[in-house]
Amino acid sequence: MNGSGRLVCIGVGIHPGAHLTPAAKSHIDRSDIVFADVPHEAFEVWLSELHGDVRSLRDIRAERKPRMEANRTIVQILLGEVRAGKSVCGAFYGHSGLFGGPAHIAVRTARTEGYAAHMEPGISTVDFLYADLGIDPGKFGCQHYEANQLVRYRRSLDSSAYLMLWNIDSPPEGIVAEANLVAYRTLLLEVLADEYPPRHQILVYRPADRVHGAPKILRIPLELLPTADIDAHACVVIPPAAELLPDTARQARLALLESA
């Protein structure tokens, strides 16, 4: 093990104070420094009540850098203190390890350099989404994709399952201007148009920003995706557009097993 530095990345949930697990709280208590990568000042105020040295990372996000560039900056900030021998807690909105955040990179890098590093889960937008939209992921199945992957790579989509698209609001490397973002989403729409009709109803979902509040749910036809109002931490949910196709051969074999 390399020196006394250590890193833990925790999820603080969606609402300040409502979703912090006892395990995550114990990591805050044991840390020398807490870095907060959270969208609202209310999170930082609440975290400051739990720890005497909470440092905000919101300014890095506010610079509107490409997401991966911002993530690399945050990783270097976290690792800089770990290398200095500090016990560092990275406190992230929702679940620290979901959908392109810096926590996985930071934990992996710390471990590669010989430091103790750990990730602690938290309640995420996904958990609220299933509850608020009444989706049972086991009924039709769910596909979760970082939106940029569908544009850059050949991915197979199953239109008989739910499709969740993440980070549509976050520009890939080199795409920052608003006009470029619309063009980028148009490319994404072209990918989706292979499986979904233009008038297929989709949902832009964001969980409530306070306890007992109402989630934001915008229902629009798929064809309006390029110019839709999709803010940070929102998810685009595309319901199934096709029926589940029975596999008659396998169903016959199952029937034999059930009757045996």
pLDDT at 176: 53
- Residue 199 included in any domain: yes
pLDDT given for residue 260 in this prediction: 64
Structural domain containing residue 155: 126-238
Helices (H), 93-247: 103-112, 125-133, 147-152, 178-192
Q: What is the pLDDT of residues 185-224, one digit of tens each?
A: 999 999 999 999 999 999 999 999 888 899 999 999 999 9
What one-character DSSP code corresponds to residue 13?
Answer: B
243 lies in some domain: no
**Do 137 and 216 reside in the same domain of the chain?**
yes
181 part of a folded domain: yes
pLDDT tens-digit profile, the chain (260 residues)? 566 899 999 999 999 999 999 999 999 999 999 999 998 899 999 999 999 999 999 988 877 667 788 899 999 999 999 999 999 999 999 999 887 689 999 999 999 999 999 999 999 999 999 999 999 999 999 999 988 889 889 999 999 999 999 988 765 555 556 667 888 899 999 999 999 999 999 999 999 988 889 999 999 999 999 999 888 778 999 999 999 888 899 988 988 887 76
- One domain, residues 118 and 132: no
Residues 62 and 82 in one domain: yes
pLDDT tens digit sequence for 102-134 = 999 999 999 999 999 999 999 999 999 999 999
Residues 93 and 16 in one domain: yes
What's the burial of 124, exposed, middle or buried (CB within 10 Å: 0-12/13-18/19+)?
Answer: buried
State the pLDDT at residue 97. Answer: 87
Please tell me the distance from the alpha carbon of residue 88 to that of residue 7, in angstroms, as a whole number: 5
**Three-state secondary structure call for residue 53:** coil
Q: What is the CATH number of the domain that holds 75?
A: 3.40.1010.10
Residue 180 included in any domain: yes
245 lies in some domain: no
Distance CA 9, CA 34 (A): 10
Rounded Cα distance between 25 and 47, Å, is 10
Domain final position from 123, 144, 174: 123
Question: Do 110 and 212 have their domain in common?
Answer: no
Longest dimension (CA), the chain: 66
The reply to whether 66 and 52 lie within a common domain is: yes
Q: Is position 246 within any domain?
A: no
Position 108: which residue type?
R
Same domain, 228 and 149: yes
Judgement on whether residues 160 and 220 belong to the same structural domain of the protein: yes
Same domain, 103 and 130: no
With a CB cutoff of 8 Å and minimum separation 6, the contacts of 21 are 120, 121, 122
Is 260 a member of any domain?
no
Structure tokens at 16: 């300040």
Of 88, 123, 158, which residue constitutes the final position of a domain? 123
- Per the CB < 8 A criterion, the answer to whether 1 and 98 are in contact is no
In a domain, 1, yes or no: no
Q: How far apart are CA 240 and CA 196, in angstroms?
A: 9
Record the tokens describing residue 226, joined without a space. Answer: 């390029």
Do 184 and 165 share a structural domain?
Answer: yes
Using DSSP's 3-state secondary structure scheme, residue 257 falls into helix
CATH number assigned to the domain comprising residue 230: 3.30.950
Cα–Cα distance measured from residue 191 to residue 76, given in angstroms and rounded to the nearest whole number: 35
Q: In what order do the strands lie in the sheet with 6-11?
A: 54-56, 33-37, 87-92, 6-11, 116-120
Chain position carrying tokens 């998810």: 235
Model pLDDT, residue 179:
66
Instruction: Round to whole Å and give the CA distance between 224 and 202.
Output: 10
Q: C-alpha angle 44/15/68, rounded to 5°?
A: 65
| Domain endpoint, select from 60, 89, 123 | 123
Structural domain tally of the chain? 2
Same domain, 194 and 118: no
Q: Looking at the structure, tell me whether residues 109 and 155 fall in a common domain.
A: no
Q: How many whole angstroms separate alpha carbon 6 and alpha carbon 56? A: 19
